[in-house]
Structure 1
Amino acid sequence: MRVGITGGSGFLGKEISRVLKEQGHTPIIIGRRASFDTEHEYCQTDYSVESLDKVLFGFDALIHLASIRGAEGNISDFHNNEIITENIFKSCVNSRLNNIVYASTIAVYSDSNNIPWSEKHIPSPKTLYGVSKLACEHIGEIYHRRYGLNIKSLRIAQVLGEGERKGFMMNTFIDNAFKRKSLNVIGKSVAKREFVYIKDVAKAMLLAILKPEIHGTFNIGSNTAYTNLEIANIINKCFSNKGNITYNELEDEKMESSLMSSLKAYKVLGYSAEYSLEQALIEIRNQKLEVRSV
């Protein structure tokens, strides 16, 4: 299959491109900027319908990753996500391309008193990013009803992997453990969060495009959640930094629990997470060691 990937030059896009190529498919990266990547075919677009019509013709499937995370200041920070997504769906109609995967997020949920969340739970995002992603899901529903586009909206848990944007707790912990530094755990560490390894996410997207007749929303996670203190201890164990933790339980950890059920994805798409948190961290550690040895 020829598979277009919007935002394909990013963290997740690179991994799904690798997996597609490994499985004998042809990934085509779609983005705004000119690419110097000679490994994959690349198509440049400004994401207008006119531009996309020239790009999307002749594809067998499309994976839509392109998204602005924004600064959580105003909903206007995220409007481009909705405009770009509708333009993509319009162009898919024009190009008769109806096998689409949309990368949504666990952030469409929020009721921590009712976990694990299934797709039957009413979404209630608490962030503007989550609102924007949910709006794009609804746009997809409209285009499915009107034009028959089979859009698989994958609600992805927090993604874990080497190459993810720096500054978040998980990657800060990993980098500190690799350097034999202390991991600073803030708060009482009561809330538990779900993480999913990037290779499992890429596998889910591959399984989704292999089901061109399927449409709907699917939770993609690991079915396991951890407190920040548990995460710190597991990371230190995997990186041989055991016990190197500072723990300030007097501060507010400023987070709520999050956990999804991926049972529907298992039944319909055949997805289940292959990597435990420990297995993912050991692989990340080995990747870091390989880079350091070069």
Structure 2
Amino acid sequence: MKAIVTGAAGFIGHTLVKRLLDEGYEVVGVDCFTDYYNIDIKRRNIDTIPNQNNNFTLVEADLRTVDLGALLSDAEVIFHQAGQPGVRKSWGNDFLHYTEMNINATQRLLEAARAAKNLKRLVYASSSSVYGDAETYPTKETDLPRPVSPYGVSKLAAEHLCSLYAKNFGIPITSLRYFTVYGPSQRPDMAFTRFLRAAIDRSSISIFGDGTQVRDFTYVDDIVNANLMCSQSTEAPGSIYNVAGGSNASVNDVLKVIEEITGSPLNVEYVTSVVGDVKRTGGDITSISSSVGWEPNVNLRSGLERHWEWAQSVYRA
């Protein structure tokens, strides 16, 4: 089975690539190594991918310009993980990067997928940010999306494109709405990596808001499992699923668990909340559970312990 993974050098992307190789796939990873965060980190992610059987090929290219027809010609599964991340950076002039990388690149990929004769499934990495401040919790896929950040708008727009191409051209697309992913190799700008690195450095941790905001944290291996299970399903084109870990913990709750795991108090300071951050997220996973049998396997404490082990290996001098 040949798989294409876009965003292969990223946090979720390279974790997915390693799992696919373990499962015996031939994998082509695509990444343009944007400078949203330190490119050296992405290079190190790629270096961790085992390639003893020469089943992995890295294509360093931009989805907006690369010859996608040739790239996808014999692809059987496409995992579209690439995109411009981050709520805080999506305001102002930076929004151009989000329209280009999240919307335009996705539309170009979808056009090329129409001609991919062997394609069995395209899995798109959407986000819980499409919900914004949801009307109900846990939030169902049928609830009205109301993003409150430009990032959320861009992810929802790309998701809508996936649905349109599924409906009009029959492309076998599944969109997965990820809820706050964490675990080893998490981006350096994301909360848990910042917290754990501060625990190592004994530096201060800036919390945006009062720390009572609640998130449905999802361990990265559970996200990878959801991708694999959905790629092998026969669901109708255009299916949309929440992928949520079920933790529903506040940021302050997480800080307490980290103190317990690391065995030392954290130096926390609370700063002004960020425009576009929601007060709560929580995903109803009834649909993905009943359709493909996916359930989260890693609880928050176990996931944080694994994240802590990784952080020490990377950041401890």
* TM-score (normalised: structure 2): 0.83
Aligned counterpart in structure 1 of residue 98 of structure 2, from 75, 78, 82: 78
1:27-38 paired onto structure 2 within 5 Å? 27-32=27-32
1:230 aligned partner, one-letter code: D
Instruction: Return closer, same or farther for 1:101/1:190 CA change in 2, 3 Å cut-off.
Output: same
Instruction: Return closer, same or farther for 1:21/1:175 CA change in 2, 3 Å cut-off.
Output: same
Instruction: Return closer, same or farther for 1:82/1:159 CA change in 2, 3 Å cut-off.
Output: same
1:36-55 paired onto structure 2 within 5 Å? 39=51, 40-48=56-64, 51-55=67-71
Shift of 1:273: 0.9
Deviations 1:132-180 (A, max 9, x none): 1111111111111111011111000111123222233322211122345
| Residues 1:109 and 2:131 are matched in the alignment | yes
Instruction: Return closer, same or farther for 1:266/1:222 CA change in 2, 3 Å cut-off.
Output: same
Give me the whole-angstrom Cα distance separating, in 2, the residues matched to 1:6 and 1:219.
Answer: 20
1:93 aligned partner, one-letter code: R
Contact 1:108 / 1:130 at 8 angstroms: preserved in 2?
yes
1:1-294 paired onto structure 2 within 5 Å? 1-32=1-32, 39=51, 40-48=56-64, 51-69=67-85, 71-74=90-93, 75-80=95-100, 81-96=102-117, 97-180=119-202, 183=205, 187-215=209-237, 216-241=239-264, 243-246=265-268, 253=273, 255=277, 256-291=279-314
Contact 2:202 / 2:267 at 8 angstroms: preserved in 1?
no
* TM-score (normalised: structure 1): 0.89
Name whichever of 107-116 and 50-59 sits farther off: 107-116
Deviations 1:47-95 (A, max 9, x none): 2587000111111100001112353225433221211111111111112
Give me the whole-angstrom Cα distance separating, in 2, the residues matched to 1:292 and 1:32.
Answer: 26
Instruction: Return closer, same or farther for 1:131/1:261 CA change in 2, 3 Å cut-off.
Output: same
User: Percentage identity across aligned positions?
Assistant: 23
Give me the whole-angstrom Cα distance separating, in 2, the residues matched to 1:127 and 1:220.
Answer: 20
Instruction: Return closer, same or farther for 1:114/1:43 CA change in 2, 3 Å cut-off.
Output: same
Contact 1:7 / 1:67 at 8 angstroms: preserved in 2?
yes
Matched residue pairs, number? 290
1:221 aligned partner, one-letter code: A
Instruction: Return closer, same or farther for 1:185/1:132 CA change in 2, 3 Å cut-off.
Output: closer
Name whichever of 125-134 and 65-74 sits farther off: 65-74
Deviations 1:233-281 (A, max 9, x none): 011111222x445465xx6555511111112111112211111111011
Gaps of 5+ in 1: none
Contact 2:197 / 2:315 at 8 angstroms: preserved in 1?
no
Question: What's the secondary structure of 1:95's corresponding residue?
Answer: coil
Instruction: Return closer, same or farther for 1:31/1:182 CA change in 2, 3 Å cut-off.
Output: closer
Name whichever of 21-30 and 56-65 sits farther off: 21-30
Contact 2:184 / 2:306 at 8 angstroms: preserved in 1?
no
Give me the whole-angstrom Cα distance separating, in 2, the residues matched to 1:124 and 1:111.
Answer: 7
